[in-house]
Amino acid sequence: MKRFIIEREIPGASELTEAELAEISKKSNTTVESLGVPYRWITSYVAGDKVYCIHEADDEDVIREHARRGGFPANSVHVVANEFGPHTAGDQK
């Protein structure tokens, strides 16, 4: 599966309560189960009026179908080309 970053524009996203976020999570999980194909929601981040989600699927069409069925916006969807962080620095000589 490929890893995707999904940007969702949701006005007032930063003001969503824990209960509201839990309901969104439940809806997403139910939608994932309904897809009938390999799909994994990794995590999501809320920042301002946006939610950034990391999901794994075989292709962008499946990501967009999840959004459509769940009633979630998917304003942009990008395949993650690579990942790096402090753990990848290694000892370069």
Looking up residue 66, the CATH number of its domain turns out to be 3.30.70.3090
* 18 within a domain of the structure (yes/no): yes
Does residue 93 fall inside a structural domain?
Answer: no
pTM beyond 0.85: yes
Range of the domain at 31: 2-82
In a domain, 88, yes or no: no
Identify the pLDDT of residue 87.
Answer: 87
> pLDDT, tens digit, for every residue of 15-53?
999 999 999 999 999 999 999 999 999 999 999 999 999
Q: Which pLDDT does position 93 carry in this prediction?
A: 59
Judged against a pLDDT cut of 90, whether residue 89 lies above it is answered with no
- Position 90 in a domain: no
Total number of domains in the chain = 1
In a domain, 91, yes or no: no
Residue 72 in domain: yes
Q: Residue 88 and residue 25: Cα distance in Å, rounded?
A: 31
- Domain annotation covers residue 60: yes
| pLDDT > 90? residue 90 | no
User: In angstroms, rounded to a whole number, what is the distance separating the alpha carbons of residues 52 and 44?
Assistant: 5
Rg, Å, the chain Cα set = 15
Q: Is residue 76 part of a domain?
A: yes
pLDDT of residue 37: 97
68, pLDDT greater than 80 = yes
